[in-house]
Structure 1
């Protein structure tokens, strides 16, 4: 069994997608013109921020899915030290 890691990813590398990997519930949505920032809560209770197109229609409390762009995921060990790109480790 391996060590625990934390996955880090920026909001612009997440997307709301019916085929996503992570079930979420939408919380606060901020429409900022060309972008919409969606604050969501994962099933695990973790808060996430997703940046989507400004015209995205998201309502409070919706059950949606978030897709991760694994090429932009970063791994950190239990001390917060960067481990390496997820895609390179998975290959």
Structure 2
């Protein structure tokens, strides 16, 4: 991207099990860290997209949240993904 820095970002969080949701890997913990990262790096966080109970083995594009993130990238709404 020439001449203009694109600083918009989407956050992506995922857990595959209830145990992970209850541990330090919880959705809320991941979101807190993503928000802190974006703030520290001057990124405007447009949205945080979540896939709960989805295996990492499932292709990203086949996940509801993954498809949403890819759609935001394709539309030019965001230029960074923070996961």
TM-score calculated relative to the size of structure 1: 0.26
Greater share of helix: 2
Q: Which one has the bigger strand percentage? A: 1
Structure with more contact order per residue of length (Cα contacts < 8 Å, sep ≥ 6): 2
